[in-house]
Amino acid sequence: MRKRALGVAALATLAFAATACGSSPSASPTAAPSASASAPAAGGGTLVIWADPLRVKPLQPFAEQFGTENGVTVEVKEISKDNQMTFLTASQQGSGPDVMIGAHDWIGNLVQNGAIDPVTFTEEQKASFSPKAIQAVTFDGQIYGAPYALENIALIRNTDLAPDAPATIEDMIAKGKELKEAGKVKEVLCIPVGQKGDAFHVYPIFASGGGALFGATASGDPDPKQVLLGSEESVKAFGKLKDLGEKGDGALRTSLTNENYIVNFAGGKCAYLVSGPWAISEVKKGGITYDISAVPAFKDGKPATPFVGVQSFFVASKGKNKALAQEFVANYVTNKDVAKALYDADPRPPALTAALEEVQAADPDAAKFLDAGKDGMPMPAIPEMAAIWEPFGIAENAVVRGGDAAKAAAAAQKAIDGALKN
């Protein structure tokens, strides 16, 4: 009796295991033309969108609406770590999404890895975006993504302590030092430096001091063959950072890091903060009355141009449903309501002019940030940019601690040249 039970069970399991293999070859022809063929009557196709945690929720209703209108299933999946790398690895293995959301400065690297396709906009669509957003997502003469939000850093000041927006960096430092001597604040300026520097936040000051990263090609794009970090102008700019540093005015300090600089401002420990729209919620929590203006320039200096980052939707080259992805990116998310919903979830100024106008009316901060970034430079999207961040940051850290500007600039230039040669 027992023996027979075992035999039956064994047969059943064997049959089960056998079907695992047996059914697969016959399944392949139907599986090949994507999942779509499986249920053509009920519509078909699945659109998979990958987004970071902040954007999953606001995107959901629009994704669903798009799904109903086109009779497809739309899946918005949250990716929270190393998004660019995860996307590249998954694309390569064929398990990637159809639509990816990310910053425009990924474009160079994604293109060299063949991971995204160009997006075609009509002239009318192009005109509906802010020109800077279109410039940012353009790489090598092609538009590679649908932009939806712009972000740049600005000077946020505590209006109780510093009622007037400073006209120059010198004014700001003087006021900051005055407040510090009076014991009203503990820091002259809250800007992250840390042990490895922070190229993104210090860039407007560096640019105002005359520093530059890349030369320009004939078409006006950054030219990776001309790294200018070691140039004479950049050395001067590093010299100015040194003057602002720990052995000078004490405005730049390595002990202020990405983890504590906003907290310090929100706690009233400094009058000025250099940060982006992402800092606002914490500043509000601290109960600070604040105003936003552009990062000032040095007296007689060049404009203090911040980097402008553009959040974008990309069409994955290896996606299973590219027609749907194109439809979604080129013809759907360029919709004003989507832009506004994303803004509500994460208040960065929309790239779509119409959405921006509506947002501005309700939220003056968005307009002020955008105004502060109007001279900004879209972050170079070339893959070579990856080589800049760390050596630049370390050179910044070195001069802030009082190191020699010429030496630091030359070492950074050498490191970058070495990396780009490979």
Partner 1 sequence: MALDVREAAPAGTRGRPRREITTAFVVSRIVVLAVAAAILLYAVPPLVATGSWVALGLLCGVSAAIAYLYLTRRFIPAKYLIPGTVFLVAFQVFPVVYTLTTAFTNFGDGHRGDKAAAVTAIETGSVRQAPGSPEYTLSVATRGEELVFLLVDPATKQVSLGTADGLTPLDGARVGVTGKVLAAPGLTVLKAPEAAARGQEITALAVPTGDGVIKANGLSRAVEGKAALVYDAACDCVRGNGGTWTADESQGYFVNARGEHLAQGWQVNVGLDNFARVLTNPTISGYFAGVLGWNLVFALVSVLGCFALGMGVALALHHPRMRGTRVYRILLILPYAMPAFAMLLVWRDMFNRDFGLINQLLGAEIDWLGQTGTARLGVLLVNIWLGFPYMFLVTTGALQAIPRELTEAASIDGATPFRAFRRVTLPLLLVALTPLLISSFAYNFNNYNAIALTTDGGPFPADSPQVGGTDLLITYTFRLAFGAGGAQFGFAAAISVFIFAIVAVISAVAFRRTRKQEEVYA
Q: How far is residue 242's CA from residue 413's CA, in Å, rounded to a whole number?
A: 18
Contact flags string 106-135 toward partner 1, x per CB under 8 A: --xx-xxxx--xx-x-x-------------
CB closer to partner 1 out of 114 and 131: 114
How many residues make up the chain in this entry?
422
| Binding window for partner 1 (CB under 8 A); candidates: 90-98, 286-294, 297-305, 366-374 | 90-98
Decide: is 80 part of the binding site for partner 1 (CB under 8 A).
Answer: no
Contact between 411 and partner 1 per CB under 8 A:
yes
Position 174 contacts partner 1 (CB under 8 A): no
Which are the contacts of 331, defined by CB distance < 8 A and separation ≥ 6?
A: none
- Distance between CA atoms of residues 252 and 274, nearest Å: 11
Task: List the interface residues with partner 1, window 329-368 (CB under 8 A).
Answer: 329-331
Handedness of CA 318, 320, 321, 325 (dihedral sign): negative
The structure tokens 């992250």 sit at 192
211 near partner 1 (CB under 8 A) = no
Rounded Cα–Cα distance for residues 33 and 25 (Å): 15
Residue number, 354 or 410, with CB nearest to partner 1: 410
Nearest distance in Å: CB 334, partner 1: 11
- Where in 23-42 is the site for partner 1 (CB under 8 A)? 24, 27-28, 31-34, 36-37, 40, 42
Alpha carbon distance 149, 209 (integer Å): 28
Q: Tell me the Ramachandran region of residue 197: left when phi exceeds 0, alpha when psi lies from -120 to 50, beta otherwise.
A: left
Please state the closest distance from residue 11 (CB atom) to partner 1, in A.
Answer: 9
CA distance 251 to 237: 15
Beta bridge partners of 87: none
Q: Is 181 in the site for partner 1 (CB under 8 A)?
A: no
Q: Which is nearer to partner 1, 116 or 292 (CB)?
A: 116
Nearest CA among 191, 233, 228 for reference residue 210: 233
According to CB under 8 A, which one of 64, 78, 140, 344 is a site residue for partner 1? Answer: 140
| Cβ atoms of 299 and 204 closer than 8 Å | no
Structure tokens that stand for 10 in this block: 């064994």
**Closer to partner 1 at the Cβ: 99 or 352?**
99
Residue 326 binds to partner 1 (criterion: CB under 8 A): yes
82 binds partner 1 (CB under 8 A): no
Write out the binding residues for partner 1, residues 234-273 only, by CB under 8 A. 253-257, 259-260, 264
The minimum distance between CB 366 and partner 1, in angstroms, equals 29
Site size toward partner 1, by CB under 8 A: 97
Amino acid letter, residue 113:
N
